[in-house]
Structure 1
Amino acid sequence: MPNTPTTEAVTFYKQHFGEIHPYMRSELEKWLSEAGDDLVMEAMKRAVDYHKLSWSYVKKILINWKKQEVTSVEEVRKEAEPIAQQQKKRQYRKNHSTRKDIVPDWFKERYHEEKQKSEQKSNVPKDLLTDIVAIASKYQNRKSALNVSTI
């Protein structure tokens, strides 16, 4: 038996949504005859993409398309383009905030003064401090290696 669109939709449903019972099969066939195989398949694919694996979600998509008088997958994609562009703009704005906090000069000056004071308080030369950090790092690495080898 060749893979007709209707059997393709049923197979897709079984693979992604689960067992298809007689009532569900009649619902699916009703929508296939009413909206067409391509639209039903597209609605199911969108549900899977959004991790909404329920027939009610697919049905709501199909009902919305019916209200909007969408009759083809091309129309669905054209309708989705402006929405996708808005989402991209929103995401861009979210990731590339142009807001800059205004920090008064007196705060910056205080910060730099405190930083200089803390550097002056440290009586340990920077070279010695670097050596201590390197030795501690080597010790930590050896300790980790020993713990791994005893397991």
Structure 2
Amino acid sequence: MSKLLLDESPILVLPSLAEKVGLNEAIFLQQLNYWLKDSNNIRDGHTWVYNTYEDWQEQFPFWSVSTIRRVITKLENADLLIIGNFNKLKIDKTKWYRINYEAFKGVNSPSVQSEQSECSEWTVEQVNLNRPLPEITTEITSKKKEEEEAPATGGNPFRFFEENGFGTIGGYIAQKIGKWCDDLSDELVLESMKIAVERGAKSWSYVEKILINWADKKIKTVDQANALILAYKEKQSKQGKVRKGYATRTEKLPGWFNEQEDKQQPINPKANTTGVEQKRAELNETLRKLRERSSNDGDPLRQGND
């Protein structure tokens, strides 16, 4: 028999629940039920668990983030899953979850023992119903609580944006940051902001130029982004060494790489004086031509030609 079959405790899901809500949804509810039992996050008289889609994927590595999003949305629309937001920062959109146990009161489901005896030779004692998927030595809720209480380390793109001089995040920018976090990752969005700070270009437009470039280049990790920047620097150095007069083909670097924040240039008194003198000379030349034209208007030959 293959080692993939029953060499570890199986995922136990009631067939009646899977039939009612769907297999993926039943798996998700079983896992959430496990974490709710150990959670210390009490809000509005209920126990909650909070996670990002990426955090859920660590527990469900056999699902993509888009699949997890669809499962959660389906359960929420069916009123089996209740979602809230009790984050300290309003810009933090991490969702909080709890099961709407009230919705299950009217469901007549067979017992765990009877369903399991019909579907498997495993006994209830052999299977730990509360075992998380996959095995995790530290509960997510405890880990997240420690992260919440720990000093801010700049790991949150929203917090980093406000704490490093980009300005206050409005609803529109918050949505764009969240979308880029979903499309790329929190780490890459954070890295693009760090680059903007280092280059003195602390604006969202500059950050987004970097992210667009990385998306075009299919960058998925911070290491890949750093390797790309290193390659840009090497190309820039080579192009600077090209002698003038040689027709050498060079690859165009992205606009953000050399772009910096526009700063008001100091007024140069000498340059300003030179400009005034030049305009004065041009004005005098225009007056001279007008005088000559006026003199020519008195010439009989010129009047006849007119």
TM-score normalised over the length of structure 2: 0.28
2:208 to 59, 64, 69: 59
Q: Which has the higher contact order (CA 8 A, sep 6+)?
A: 1
Are residues 1:21 and 2:170 paired? yes
CA contact (8 A) 1:42 1:73 kept: yes
Q: Deviations over 1:42-69 (max 9, x none)?
A: 1111111111111011111101110111
One-letter identity of the residue aligned with 1:10: F
Q: Deviations over 1:86-110 (max 9, x none)?
A: 445667x6xxxxxxxxxxxxxxxxx
Aligned to 2:160: 12
Structure 1 runs of 4+ with >6 Å offset:
4-7
Displacement after TM superposition at 1:7 (Å) = 7.0
CA contact (8 A) 1:6 1:37 kept: no
Are residues 1:77 and 2:226 paired? yes
Report SS of the residue matched to 2:156: helix
For 2:189 and 2:173, the matched residues in 1 are separated by 14
Sort the Cα spacing of 1:5 and 1:23 in 2 relative to 1 into closer, same or farther, 3 A.
Answer: farther
- Give 1:2-151 correspondences, 5 Å limit: 2-3=147-148, 8-16=156-164, 17-88=166-237
CA contact (8 A) 1:9 1:41 kept: yes
CA contact (8 A) 1:40 1:62 kept: yes
Q: Deviations over 1:20-44 (max 9, x none)?
A: 1111111111111111011101111
For structure 2, which runs of at least 5 residues remain unmatched after alignment? Answer: 1-144, 242-306
- CA RMSD for the aligned pairs? 2.7
TM-score normalised over the length of structure 1: 0.53
Larger Rg: 2
More displaced stretch, 72-81 vs 38-47: 72-81
One-letter identity of the residue aligned with 2:157: A
CA contact (8 A) 2:196 2:207 kept: yes
One-letter identity of the residue aligned with 2:179: K
Report SS of the residue matched to 1:85: helix
One-letter identity of the residue aligned with 1:36: S
CA contact (8 A) 1:6 1:29 kept: no
Report SS of the residue matched to 1:20: coil
For structure 1, which runs of at least 5 residues remain unmatched after alignment? Answer: 94-151
Report SS of the residue matched to 2:200: coil
Displacement after TM superposition at 1:84 (Å) = 2.0
Aligned to 1:104: none
For 2:170 and 2:187, the matched residues in 1 are separated by 22
